[in-house]
Amino acid sequence: MATLNILVGHAQGNVPVTVLRVEGDIDAATHKILQDKAAEVIDTGSTHILLDLGGVNYMGSAGFRAIHAISNMLHKDDTPGLLKSTHLKLLNPTDPVARVIKTLGFDVYLDIYQDRDTAVNSF
């Protein structure tokens, strides 16, 4: 059975930030684990999420479907047309994941940081 570990942390930027540290491969068998965990923290009040991808060596299109869904959950009240997310950002993607982020154009939608403190303080 495919597994994905997600550690939930909290940090304080200009607003409270929930940090989801993902460890494992995000594919069609595991992406729902990420999506469900994000839905859970959003349901309990999280409004700004930093997705730490430093422990993800593989992410296929299913992972991007999950990120897309998480972004939509966080921006459900926004007017259409907003391009860059102010509620969801990415931290420390590995090289293969960063390559797919760029190929799919997700770097247009999501800010990407290499340093956790800088990322948290950007919210």
Q: Closer to another protein at the Cβ: 9 or 82?
A: 82
What DSSP string describes 36-86? HHHHHHHHTT---EEEEEEE-S-B-HHHHHHHHHHHHHHTTTSPTT--S-S
CB of 59 to another protein, least distance (A): 9
- Whether 57 and 22 have beta carbons less than 8 Å apart is answered as no
Q: At what angle do helices 31-43 and 61-74 cross, to 10 degrees?
A: 10
- Whether 98 and 67 have beta carbons less than 8 Å apart is answered as no
CB of 21 to another protein, least distance (A): 20
Q: What is the largest CA-CA distance in the chain?
A: 40
CB of 6 to another protein, least distance (A): 17
The residues in 54-93 that bind another protein, with binding defined as CB under 8 A, are: 58, 60-62, 64-65, 68-69, 71-72, 75, 78, 80-83, 85
Sole window of 11-19, 40-48, 101-109, 113-121 interacting with another protein (rule: CB under 8 A)? 101-109
Give yes or no for residue 102 binding another protein (CB under 8 A).
no
Q: Read off the tokens for 103.
A: 């190929």
Name the site residues for another protein (rule: CB under 8 A). 1-2, 25, 27-29, 58, 60-62, 64-65, 68-69, 71-72, 75, 78, 80-83, 85, 95-96, 99-100, 103-106, 108-109
